[in-house]
Amino acid sequence: MQECRIAAIELACRRGERVLFAGVSFTLAPGEALQVLGANGVGKSSLLRILAGLLPPFRGSVEAAGEIGLIDERHALDMALPLRKALAFWQRLDGPADDQLARLGLAGIADVPVGYFSTGQKKRAAFARLIGQRAPVWLLDEPLNGLDADGAALAQQLAEEHCRAGGICVIASHQPFALEGIARLDLAHFAP
């Protein structure tokens, strides 16, 4: 896995005229994980989008080394394509990937268009895409939403394996996330 690091330096986020949070700072090195906590609307998803470079911070900066992969409510898979073809599109950009479909419980529906998938199946398909990306920094926005108990356990296991292999995980979730050694940051403490 390529070297990785991610640091938030005095980040602030504004939506419209409202500042959601200010003064958020942390640094994560290989093998580390952080769960971002807080009620709906506190800015968890916005923080991940800032870390991914998809949303500019109101103040502060992000320093990152290593490719960043993101799972959020947009699964980055063509809903009209069968899963195998939707993933093949990304493999042309990322290079060949190990087939994780059986492990993710998707092998039997690999020829079904992604648009027909349940919420949990779409989430597992997003994990297949993320694993294929081979990004050392994972940003997971509500990764357990829509998953049954087995799917939630698998998502947590994948994050643990990623960190053990030297990756970094930032997990925005109001649900408990079982990952040994995970640090926690409650965005409610950073409300202005």
User: Any idea where the domains of the chain sit in the sequence?
Assistant: 1-67+172-192
| Neighbouring C-beta atoms of residue 137, cutoff 10 Å | 24
- Report CA-CA distances (Å) from 15 to 38, 72, 133, 190: 17, 18, 30, 15
Least confident of 65-69, 70-74, 155-159, 184-188: 70-74
Shortest CA distance to 172 belongs to which of 62, 31, 2, 52? 52
- Give the separation between CA 32 and CA 29, rounded to whole angstroms: 6
pTM of structure: 0.92
pLDDT over threshold 70, residue 37? yes
Strands, sheet with 68-71, edge to edge from the N-terminal-most edge strand: 68-71, 137-141, 168-172, 33-37, 183-186
Place of tokens 């602030």: 12
| Neighbouring C-beta atoms of residue 187, cutoff 10 Å | 20
Fold for the domain defined by 1-67+172-192 = Rossmann fold (3.40.50)
pLDDT given at position 169 = 97
- C-beta of residue 16 within 8 angstroms of C-beta of residue 43: no
pLDDT in tens, 102-118: 888 988 989 999 999 99
pLDDT in tens, 128-173: 989 988 899 999 999 998 899 999 999 999 999 999 999 999 999 9
